[in-house]
Structure 1
Amino acid sequence: MMKAKGVSIILTVLFVVLAWGQASADEVWLKNGDRLTGKVVSLDAGTLVFKTSYAGDLFIKWEEVVNLKTDEPIKVVLGDETTAQGPVSPGDSGKVKVKAEQVAEPVTVDLANVKAINPKPPLRTNLRANVGFSMTDGNTDTQDIYADAEFMARTLQNRFTIGGLYKRSEDGDVKTEDKALGYMKYDHFFTKKWYAYANATGEQDEFKDLDLRVTLGVGVGYQFIETDRTNLSVEGGLSYVDENYILAEDNSFMAGRWAVKFDHF
């Protein structure tokens, strides 16, 4: 008797869980009368990505969708680039209602006017490079070579930077300068202006007896200005420095770090 009761309770719990899972699923109604359950992933270039447990990701032409329901908030982008974010409920055929947090009443949206759903953050990239060469011939023969480059990739919350420079000089047949620097940095923005960073730098300078200096650091920064032409930020944190010398004794230590970065093109 107790065993049968226990089985009954387990079956009841399973039924409730399955029923809740079914009830909490997003739903899509199509022109042909089909009604699909699953999860709205995104809409881009006229194709709705709808994730299901029974067929994986479905790619549905947006023009075939006549109604939509979601249990969790989604970001809806309209044709005029205005956005609304919130759970979506069915409306009249061809329309849905978005319960945006910033307004008291749901916003009615025409499906034909929906441009995107849950759009990916835009990726912005920037590449700069400089190369210089000079040579003199006469009483003195000199050569100078300089090159630097930096690549940056930026999304809404992340920024990746990698770069380096090289400089070499000769006077006659005698080398007078030979140094190289490489660096990479990752910034994660936890607000629009504040970010945490991690960076790594490698440096070599033969005429400073430096075989390799490696610096690893973490810290926080604040972005005052960030436009296509002007950038200004300040940051500070801690770094670990490991120095390997050609002749002198190697060294390693902890150090504080602060920096101001400003550029204008």
Structure 2
Amino acid sequence: MYSRSLLCLALTLAASPLLADTVWLKNGDRLTGKIKFFDGGKLLLQTDYGGAITLDWKKVATLESDQELLIKEDAVSGERAKSLHAAEPGRVILANGETPRTVELASIQQIMKPKPLVEDLTWKGNVDAALDYKRGESATDDYDIDLKTQARHGLWRHGAEAGYNRQYQDGVVASDNWNAEYALDRFLDEHWFWQGRLEYKHDQIEELERQRTLGTGPGYQFWDNELGAFSVTGLLNRSDYLFADGQKENFYALSTKWDYNRYLVGKSIELFSSGEVGKPLASVADYTLDAEVGLRYKVNSWASLNMKAEKDLVSGADGELDETHYSLGFGVGW
């Protein structure tokens, strides 16, 4: 009798998913899995039968979850719910240990796992490394590493980038440069923000040895969710150039900056592009361009393979620069 009871209990546990979240759709379908994130009108549900599934929030009738989630009904504050319970279509019940509260699904802007210290902190980024060895009439060794990360809390967003490239041709250093950038965004509403930006570049080989740029201006976020992001920023910049012969130049410029990424094929492939095109207000150069475009294939939840092309151009200036760099490498993301 005792063995039979244990067998019934084991079969019951095996038949019912542990801590599974459930989403009911307006067409009557019911999906189970784990709620990962909701933002930008898209709910990401991780399942063991279909991987990550993206659901249109307008198609969701109600949902339930046994995990602790942060529910945000505006861009700043949120409520930590110990669990979610299903309600009538278009609503969900937040259970937080006190009196349960029923809210409209349409009023919810974000759902996420609460972070320690800063509950609504979202942090993402990746480090890509590439090595290229070519042996023929000449021997070329190329080393490249890039870091890009972004953190957001409430109405503030921080972005940082850094990169280093070194190339040898027949044992002689042909390229040796690094760059760093920091940007701070203050969102004015769901889409509009104001950005302040500092960028520095240093080149040991080219005639244009150092570049420092300070800029500020408005930006527009078209979308930013689990499927990707796209933003455009218009900036008024002051740039300071130092050339290898000791000459200095400084000027103001207007520029347009973009940052785009999009996940495809169940988030296994990422298409990304970022860069800036500028027009100096003085006659020091015709225009400048600093851009990259590439693909990233996710091997697992943290590792990826990537390939990209980078373009760095300063046209019509002393020490004119025109470089195109291609790389294929390995990356780590979070």
TM-score (norm 2): 0.44
Report the Cα distance in structure 2 between the residues aligned to 1:231 and 1:203, rounded to whole angstroms.
26
In the TM superposition, what are the counterparts of 1:71-220 in structure 2 within 5 Å? 112-113=98-99, 122-137=120-135, 139-220=137-218
Report the Cα distance in structure 2 between the residues aligned to 1:158 and 1:225, rounded to whole angstroms.
16
1:246 corresponds to which letter in structure 2?
A
How far did residue 177 of structure 1 move? 1.3
How far did residue 150 of structure 1 move? 1.1
> Judging changes above 3 Å, is the alpha-carbon distance between structure 1 residues 121 and 251 closer, same or farther for their aligned structure 2 residues?
same
> Judging changes above 3 Å, is the alpha-carbon distance between structure 1 residues 156 and 172 closer, same or farther for their aligned structure 2 residues?
same
Partners of 1:188 and 1:197 within 8 A in 2: yes
- Residue 86 of structure 1 corresponds to none
Of the structure 1 ranges 242-251 and 144-153, higher mean CA displacement relative to structure 2 is found in 242-251
**Is the counterpart of residue 255 in structure 1 residue 241 in structure 2?**
no
How far did residue 209 of structure 1 move? 1.4
Q: Helix, strand or coil for the counterpart of 1:152?
A: strand
Report the Cα distance in structure 1 between the residues aligned to 2:181 and 2:78, rounded to whole angstroms.
37
- Residue 221 of structure 2 corresponds to 223
Partners of 1:187 and 1:197 within 8 A in 2: yes
String of CA shifts for 1:56-113, please: whole Å, max 9, x gaps: xxxxxxxxxxxxxxxxxx976666669xxxxxxxxxxxxxxxxxxxxxxxxxx99723
Partners of 2:120 and 2:153 within 8 A in 1: yes
**Percent of aligned pairs with the same amino acid:** 20
Larger CA Rg, structure 1 vs 2: 1
Partners of 1:76 and 1:114 within 8 A in 2: no
> Judging changes above 3 Å, is the alpha-carbon distance between structure 1 residues 148 and 77 closer, same or farther for their aligned structure 2 residues?
closer
String of CA shifts for 1:134-180, please: whole Å, max 9, x gaps: 22345422210011011211112011011111111111121111121
- Residue 233 of structure 2 corresponds to 235
> Judging changes above 3 Å, is the alpha-carbon distance between structure 1 residues 114 and 75 closer, same or farther for their aligned structure 2 residues?
farther
Report the Cα distance in structure 1 between the residues aligned to 2:229 and 2:96, rounded to whole angstroms.
40
TM-score (norm 1): 0.55
Partners of 2:83 and 2:96 within 8 A in 1: no
How far did residue 252 of structure 1 move? 0.4
Report the Cα distance in structure 2 between the residues aligned to 1:174 and 1:111, rounded to whole angstroms.
67
Specify which structure has the higher proportion of helix.
1
Q: Helix, strand or coil for the counterpart of 1:130?
A: strand
Partners of 2:82 and 2:97 within 8 A in 1: no
Q: Any stretches of 5+ residues in structure 2 without a counterpart?
A: 1-76, 86-94, 102-113, 263-269, 271-334
Report the Cα distance in structure 1 between the residues aligned to 2:79 and 2:158, rounded to whole angstroms.
28
2:142 corresponds to which letter in structure 1?
D
How far did residue 229 of structure 1 move? 3.1
Report the Cα distance in structure 1 between the residues aligned to 2:78 and 2:120, rounded to whole angstroms.
15
Report the Cα distance in structure 2 between the residues aligned to 1:212 and 1:261, rounded to whole angstroms.
24
Partners of 1:79 and 1:114 within 8 A in 2: no
2:197 corresponds to which letter in structure 1?
N
- Structure scoring higher RCO (CA < 8 A, sep ≥ 6) equals 2
Q: Helix, strand or coil for the counterpart of 2:98?
A: helix
How far did residue 242 of structure 1 move? 0.7
Of the structure 1 ranges 193-202 and 206-215, higher mean CA displacement relative to structure 2 is found in 206-215
> Judging changes above 3 Å, is the alpha-carbon distance between structure 1 residues 76 and 150 closer, same or farther for their aligned structure 2 residues?
closer
Partners of 1:185 and 1:197 within 8 A in 2: yes
Q: CA RMSD in A?
A: 2.8
String of CA shifts for 1:178-204, please: whole Å, max 9, x gaps: 121110000010111100000000011
> Judging changes above 3 Å, is the alpha-carbon distance between structure 1 residues 121 and 219 closer, same or farther for their aligned structure 2 residues?
farther
How far did residue 213 of structure 1 move? 0.8
- Residue 311 of structure 2 corresponds to none
